[in-house]
A and B are shown apart, each in its own frame.
Chain A
């Protein structure tokens, strides 16, 4: 399977714990995005990378959230001191930078439940 992959698929944690998610993009894609989706809502943009550079961060991304893409391939999203409001599906997408025709392809997501 050469699509976007995410691990783990599900994570249950207690409030206050740290969690880390991983995303492996489609191999030739140089852009990688993180979104968060809660029940009944569309995905909301969190941040994106072009190669290893983090080019934009949403104001939704509080200082408890950090994302990295150290070698321009896979990316990690860490949430420190989790809160119940962090419970959501975290989606990763990747694309090949290319102007108007750029299309983002999504991974299966990591569903986080904070107890």
Chain B
């Protein structure tokens, strides 16, 4: 059965800090890894990663995938209170279209 593990499960930082969120996975026939941000409502799409070593970047957020070591990281630099949310990592594998999610990482950014 596919497995996605995120760490840490929660994190409290101050505005301006840089954070690194981790996601490791064990799946058969990996296809892609996705990061979502969830703020008490629908998860909103951040990144999709399919190839190792290629960084995806959007503003202060960036993410990279290591298919050899089976993990991904999501970095947020110069954090703001608006970054407070649950960050979900999900993996698509095999011939299935479904996503297997981790439990999420709750990030709290204090002023």
List residues of A whose CB falls within 8 A of some B CB: 4, 31, 33, 35, 40-45, 48, 50, 55-56, 58, 91, 95, 97, 100-109
Question: Is A42 within 8 A of B103, CB to CB?
Answer: yes
Q: Tell me the bound Cα distance from A11 to B100 in angstroms.
A: 26
* B74 adjacent to chain A (CB < 8 Å): no
A39 to chain B, nearest CB (A): 11
Tell me which residues across on chain B come within 8 A of A48, comparing CB atoms: 97-98
Interface residues of B in 64-101 (CB under 8 A from A): 88, 90, 92, 96-101
Q: How many residues of B contact A (CB 8 A)?
A: 24
Q: Can you report 7 residue pairs joining A to B where beta carbons are below 8 Å apart? A: A43-B90, A43-B101, A45-B100, A56-B97, A91-B43, A102-B92, A103-B45
Question: Is B42 within 8 A of A33, CB to CB?
Answer: no
Q: How many A-B residue pairs have CB under 8 A?
A: 64
List 13 other contacts, CB 8 Å, given A42-B4, A100-B31, A104-B45.
Answer: A4-B42, A41-B103, A42-B90, A42-B102, A42-B103, A42-B104, A56-B96, A91-B42, A97-B97, A101-B48, A102-B32, A103-B45, A107-B42
Q: Tell me the bound Cα distance from A104 to B88 in angstroms.
A: 13
Question: Is A43 within 8 A of B48, CB to CB?
Answer: no
Majority SS at the chain B contact face:
strand
Cβ-neighbour of A108 out of B34, B36, B41, B102 (below 8 A): B41
* B28 adjacent to chain A (CB < 8 Å): no
CB closest residue in chain B, given A6: B42
Question: Is A43 within 8 A of B42, CB to CB?
Answer: no
